Each structure stands twice: as structure tokens, then as C-alpha cells.
Structure 1
Amino acid sequence: MTATSADGLLDDELLERFRSRAAGYDAANAFPSDDFDELVARGYLRAAVPTEFGGLGLGLEVVAELQSRLASAAPATALAVNMHLVWTAAAAIVHARGESFLDVVLTDAGAGEVFAFGVSEPGNDLVLFDSVTSAVPIGDGGYAFAGTKISTSLSPVWTRLGLFGRDDTGGPDGTPVIVHGFLRRDEPGHTSLGDWDTVGMRATQSHTTLLDGAVVPASRIVRTLPVGPSADPLVFGIFAAFETLVAAVYRGVARRAVTLAVEAANGRTSRRSGAPIALDPVTRWRVADLWMALDGLEPQIDRVAQDLDALAGSAPDWFPRLVALKVRATEVAAAVVDGALTVAGGSSYRADSELGRLFRDVLAGRFHPSSSDSAHATVAQRLLGPLG
């Protein structure tokens, strides 16, 4: 399916329905159930799944563009669904590179299962390279997981939770290892706290998940890796899909902010001159500056996604490119929304203003990995070598 034909997945009428509902979900701090049901009905959650697994077989470039379109209407809906799409895109990336250990994701997603991330943990700034969740062997190749996972998007609807934990005795010579697997919702040992009450991206409903001996059998343990930095195909697949699709969501937010800034400039009249503020030189400069900032981001997202689809790019450069993409996308989006607020004026400070909601939503971008600090460290290591 091409990018053009994929547009039918998110036609303008559908996006307007999503946009009309977004404020209500935000105000109610509620999961976007109607949005989600419509996306499922259209097969959107199968977008990145290869056709041989029952999916639509769309590449990452097309999926990223779709996510930007969705985010321009309903950012929190897009970010929530992003977590499922990251798992399926990561599995597709791994599969395309000749590995089959994540085919369980593709098979289940093709059959309609919904995947969420049980990765983020309080106090764990090493993200995938270590865990404060325990993974205890149960004797048959399976593991029992205990710990706290935060920001579990899609909490109300997931049926498969991708998670990981640390087995302190499981590696060679008794060294610690990180164990990755998938928990089914209909199995015991997990509790959602229903505690998501944030400034923005409220409809993602990314509740804290407590794991208390949640058992994942050997058939759904997909990878065991040493503690510490790794370029394993699992880590690369998750990282590549996550950074690219998160960038795509915030690109969509920035696109909408530019549109709203243009509408505001054309819709406001200066009492001093009696003319639309769109004729004011300062306003014209500001709106042009917003567009130019966004225009510089567009090809970076497209090119990274294209190279991932084509299996192109030098291995040592991938992690610096990915972290740079995520940081630039979230920082550009935040600056564009902030600038649009200036153009729109004080009315955008109202709680029921779409720009005001975008301002709150775009703040979430700084909390997704990789942070600006860790991204700069990654790029510096590639350019200057390791410390010490």
C-alpha cells in the first residue's frame, strides 16, 4: 500500500470527528474509546504488520505520516495508539532483518491483539539497559515479574503487555540479565492503578501498572540480554520505532499549531489599524518563522523512516540519528506551539482553547526517552569517543 492509498485510513471526515471529541476526552481525563474503536474497525492497529501476518504491510515512513495526521486532530489519541504501533513496527523491523523472535507480536497483532509498553520504571534512567523490576525464573523457562511500570499507555484496552525485568542470577557465571517477554491481560499478577491525571496528553490514560508475580511462560519470553548498553536487534527495533514514531506525533502537533496560528492571524483585527493582524509585519514574520521551523523537521523524519524501511544507514550512526530526531522533533514542536500562542493572543490561554490544549500536550515530549541530556551524550560519544 502506498502513502497515497494509505490516506484513506485517516480521511478528513474521520479526523474532524476525532478533533471534535479531543477536548471532551481531555476535560474528562478519559480514554478516547470512540476514537480507538474507529481506528480498530479500519484496521489501523495492523498498519505496520506485514501482510503475511494479516496486516496492511505499511512501511515506517507511511506509518509515521499517518501518525502525524492523527496527531494533528487528536494528539493524545495518536500518542496512545503510538505505543501499540511501536511494538508492531519494532517487530516488523526485526523481522525484515531476518530475526523471528518478535514474530509473536506480528501474529498476535494481526489477529487483533493490542500491545502496550511495560518498560518505563520510576527511577530507572537507563531505560532498556537495566531494570528495577525483578524477573524470577519459575523452572520451566518462564519468569515471574514483580515491580512497578509507569506510563502504561492504552491501560484500559491492552491485551498484551510487553515488559522486562532483571534476573540477578540468570546469566553465565551467575551474572545479571535482562529478560523480555509478553504478559497476557487475562492472566493474574498485574494491577492498573488508574492514576493518570496529568497536565497534558490526558486521554492516553497511561496508568501505573503494578506487577506482583505476573507469570510469563517460556513461549512468550522473547529475549535475554546482558545488563548494560546493547545494540541487540530487540533494542534497536524498539529504539528505532519508538524515536521515529514519537517524533511523528509531535510533528503532527506542530503542523496543527501552524494552522491555528494562520487562522488566528487572519481572524484577529487590530483596533489600532482596523486591519487584520495578518497584515502586521511582526505577525507575518512570526508566522513565517513557525512554518520554517516545521519545514526543517519534515525531511528529517521522512529520511530516517525511509532509511529504516530500506535497511540503509551505517550501524554506528543509527543511535545518534535517532536520538537527534526525537529531541529535535519535540523541541521544535514545543517552540512552534509557543509561537502560535503568541500569534493567537490571550484567548489561547483559556482552558477550552485548542492551542492551550496543544501547549499542555506538547510538554509531554520532553519526558519521552531519549532526554536531551542523554541524546547529547550519545552524539558526543559517537563524535568524540567514550569518556575515560
Structure 2
Amino acid sequence: MTDVESAGQGFLSGDLLARIRSRAATYDAENSFPYEDLDDLREAGYLTAMVPTEFGGGGLTLEQMTAEQRRLAAAAPGTALAVNMHQVWVAVANAVRATGDDSVDFVLQEAADGEIFAFGVSEPGNDLVLFASVSEARPDARPDGGGYTFHGLKIFTSLAPVWTRLGTFGTDSTGDEPRNVWGFVSREGTEQVGEWDVLGMRASQSFATKLDGAHAPADRVVRILPPGPTTDPFVVGIFTAFETLLAAVYTGIAERAIELATQTVGKRTSLKNGGAPYSADPDIRWRLADAAIQLDSVLPQLRERAWEFDAGVEVGALTLPRFSAVKSRATEVALDVVTKAVRVSGGGMYANTNELSRLYRDVLAGLFHPSDDESLHGAWANALLGPVNP
């Protein structure tokens, strides 16, 4: 029984997850978007699960959502990763609202009304991610003023075929000092570009998005901030929700891999050992147990970070590094766990028709999400030792 089920608040029934799992291999093979999954999730109320009840949503906390996302990822990793980005924006709006700031409440209302939110942040060659942008944010020349148009290229825009709202940012260089401008745009002034022909997480359909005059009116411009690290609750909320929900997805993949490997070694038999199942082989038992022990260490850390998000806990300079750490640990452990699951399950796992083969490709994507290991270690070193003198 999962965390959410035990609380009686699950949105993902066993039947729903079974349907979603039955389609995952086809979406992967066809490199297509999981429209049927999205329809089923919308009907189940999953896209509004974290929207507060007063807005008409399910009122789940981030801690509860991480449990749900683990289950969804175990059924269909690409679908879970895509939906993650919508859930991140809902979580951010909740975090900002908890500080008494209603500037992002429109995200909650629009999500409740059926809008689908995507993430337009990452840029080619920009490893500053949230702290600086190479895209332009141009202030309105129109009489009403206050809004911005965005111009540039954003990459890894999950939900690319279906989003209706894109949270994005760019640099306003028109004043004395550059400013990071954060806003939400519709599809007008945007274009899906390039291909999404990748190794794994194919169903996420994370195409690049070209912004060419995408407009955020004044009431959809939510932050204008100096470049660089910030303690602003909006940006901190993006970072912490993003890392936590990513960790949940890759943890769910690892949980499914162990489940599949356990089933497989109980069925495989060894001629060398007189037809005994591989589940009786001491080396196989050790390797599978080792994978489960590794994964077990991730779960408390994931729950703790999600609880901290919900409670608004901050620990100074280590706030962001701690959330980077859970993402890094979850993705690295998940990769090792899936690899061990493949090894104990035998050569049949090498076939593309095998679910473990797909999980092995999907889990590799975790290495490429921010924060990477280099920035994680740098952030912890700076928090512990201070920055290196130039």
C-alpha cells in the first residue's frame, strides 16, 4: 500500500494504472504523445490533484503527490515525466500562496479550469538554469503596458503537443541593469521546433519551443528579479518542487524494476543447479537485495524533502542543495537499481519488447535533468566552506 492509498486520497486506481501501463510500450515504440493517458488522468482529477479544494481541486500536498507520481512512473515513465511539469507549476503556486502572496493564484484557478501548464526554462548552453536567461524579455510598447514579449529558444518542453500555458523567463536589458522577467504565455507567438528522437522518455514529447513574441500581459508577469541566486519564494519554489517531483518519478521507475526482476528470477531456472529457480541462487539473491537496500535509503529522504516543501522549512544556504541532493541520489540510485534488475533477469531483458529494457532506457534521462552532479557538489562545497577566492 502506498503513502497516498493509506491516507485514502489516491487518484490513481489500480485499473487506471493498468490501462496506462498497457499503452506505455506503444507510445515508446511509436515515439508518440500519450493522449489517452492524459485524457484518463484528466478524468481522474489528476491534473487538479494539488489544486487547493477552495479552487475546486483535490488539495493534495507535495508529499502526497510524490507518492502518486512514483506509482504513475512505475506504470509509464514518459507519461509521468510529462505530467510532472504541470504539477511543478501547481506546487509553485501553492508555495507562493502559503507566504501570503496571491500573485500566482491564477495558476491554481486556470489549472482548475482545465489549462495545462508546461515548463519553458531550459536553454541550449545555459547552465545557470533559473538564475539567468539568454532569451529576451521585451517590455510592452502597447498603451496598456506592464507586459512583456519573450524571444528565444527553450528546450525540453515536456507536454509540447498539448500545453496551453507556458511558464517562462527571459532577460530585460532595456534598463540600467539586466533583470530576469518571469511570466506565463499562451501558445500564440510560440512554435514547436526540431525533433524528439531520443533514447528514452519518448512519450514525454519534450520538443524545443521557439518564442517569437509570446506575450505575457501585466497580470501574468509574476517576477522581475536581478540575475543570480535568489531567495524569492517563486524561484525557490520552482527549484524545490522540480527536484522533488523528478526524484519521485525516477524512484518509481526503480521500484518497478525491482518488482519485475523479482518476478523474473522466480520463473528462470538453472540447469546447473538441477532446475532450481534463480531466486534460490545466492549471487542473484544478494544482487537483488542490494538493489532493494539502495532504493530503501532514498524513500525517507524523498518524503522528508517533500514534507519540508509543504511545511515551508528553510535551512539557509543548504535549502537548495538539499533538494538537489535528493534528485541526484534518486536518479543515480535508480540507474544502478535498474541495471542490477537487468543483470539478474538475464539476456531476455535485452529485447526491446521487454519492459525492463524500456525502463533501462528511460532511467538514463535522469542524468540530464538539473541539477547535475557537478553543480550539486559545488553548491554543497560553497555552503560548507564558502566560495573559492578568485
TM-score by length of 1: 0.96
SS in 2 for 1:27: helix
8 Å Cα contact 2:186/2:215 also seen in 1: no
CA deviations over 1:299-322 (Å, ceiling 9, x no partner)? 110111112212234233211210
SS in 1 for 2:222: strand
In structure 2, what is the equivalent of residue 240 of structure 1?
Answer: 240
What aligned pairs does 1:298-309 form with structure 2 within 5 A after superposition?
298-309=299-310
Q: Which of 95, 109, 118 in structure 2 is aligned with 1:93? A: 95
In structure 2, what is the equivalent of residue 211 of structure 1?
Answer: 211
8 Å Cα contact 1:6/1:62 also seen in 2: no
In structure 2, what is the equivalent of residue 21 of structure 1?
Answer: 23
Amino acid aligned to 2:63: E
What aligned pairs does 1:45-56 form with structure 2 within 5 A after superposition?
45-56=47-58
Q: Confirm whether residue 284 of structure 1 aligns to residue 277 of structure 2.
A: no
In structure 2, what is the equivalent of residue 222 of structure 1?
Answer: 222
Go from structure 1 to structure 2 and tell me whether the alpha carbon gap of 1:49 and 1:6 turns closer, same or farther (over 3 Å shift).
Answer: farther
In structure 1, what is the equivalent of residue 173 of structure 2?
Answer: 168
In structure 1, what is the equivalent of residue 163 of structure 2?
Answer: 158
8 Å Cα contact 1:49/1:110 also seen in 2: yes
Q: CA deviation at 1:5?
A: 4.9
Decide which moves more: 231-240 or 247-256.
231-240
In structure 1, what is the equivalent of residue 257 of structure 2?
Answer: 257
CA deviations over 1:156-192 (Å, ceiling 9, x no partner)? 110101110011124xxx100010001112x2x1111
8 Å Cα contact 1:3/1:62 also seen in 2: no
Amino acid aligned to 2:171: R
In structure 2, what is the equivalent of residue 128 of structure 1?
Answer: 130
Q: CA deviation at 1:2?
A: 6.4
Amino acid aligned to 1:227: P
Q: Confirm whether residue 144 of structure 1 aligns to residue 149 of structure 2.
A: yes
Q: CA deviation at 1:7?
A: 5.1
CA deviations over 1:323-381 (Å, ceiling 9, x no partner)? 11010000000000000010011111111111110010001001111001001111111
Q: Which runs of 4+ in 1 moved over 4 A?
A: none
Q: How many residues align?
A: 383
Amino acid aligned to 2:74: S
Q: Which of 175, 178, 185 in structure 1 is aligned with 2:180? A: 178
In structure 2, what is the equivalent of residue 275 of structure 1?
Answer: 276
Q: 2: distance between equivalents of 1:121 and 1:316?
A: 26
Q: Confirm whether residue 374 of structure 1 aligns to residue 379 of structure 2.
A: no
8 Å Cα contact 2:251/2:334 also seen in 1: yes
In structure 1, what is the equivalent of residue 352 of structure 2?
Answer: 351
Question: Is there any run of 5+ residues in structure 1 with no aligned partner, and where?
Answer: none
Decide which moves more: 321-330 or 98-107.
98-107
Amino acid aligned to 1:120: S
In structure 2, what is the equivalent of residue 107 of structure 1?
Answer: 109
Q: 1: distance between equivalents of 2:20 and 2:104?
A: 32
CA deviations over 1:17-48 (Å, ceiling 9, x no partner)? 11111000000000011111000011101111
Q: Confirm whether residue 296 of structure 1 aligns to residue 297 of structure 2.
A: yes
Amino acid aligned to 2:160: S
In structure 2, what is the equivalent of residue 197 of structure 1?
Answer: 197
Question: Is there any run of 5+ residues in structure 2 with no aligned partner, and where?
Answer: none
SS in 2 for 1:162: strand
Q: CA deviation at 1:109?
A: 0.7
Task: Give the % identical residues.
Answer: 55
In structure 1, what is the equivalent of residue 69 of structure 2?
Answer: 67
8 Å Cα contact 1:247/1:329 also seen in 2: yes
Q: Which of 37, 52, 58 in structure 1 is aligned with 2:39? A: 37
8 Å Cα contact 2:196/2:205 also seen in 1: yes
Q: CA deviation at 1:76?
A: 0.5
CA deviations over 1:56-89 (Å, ceiling 9, x no partner)? 1110110000000000100000000000000001
Amino acid aligned to 2:267: G
SS in 1 for 2:317: helix
SS in 2 for 1:62: helix
Q: 1: distance between equivalents of 2:248 and 2:99?
A: 23
SS in 1 for 2:85: helix
SS in 2 for 1:257: helix
8 Å Cα contact 2:4/2:67 also seen in 1: no
Q: 1: distance between equivalents of 2:268 and 2:30?
A: 30
CA RMSD of aligned residues (A): 1.3
Go from structure 1 to structure 2 and tell me whether the alpha carbon gap of 1:223 and 1:313 turns closer, same or farther (over 3 Å shift).
Answer: closer
Q: 2: distance between equivalents of 1:306 and 1:136?
A: 38
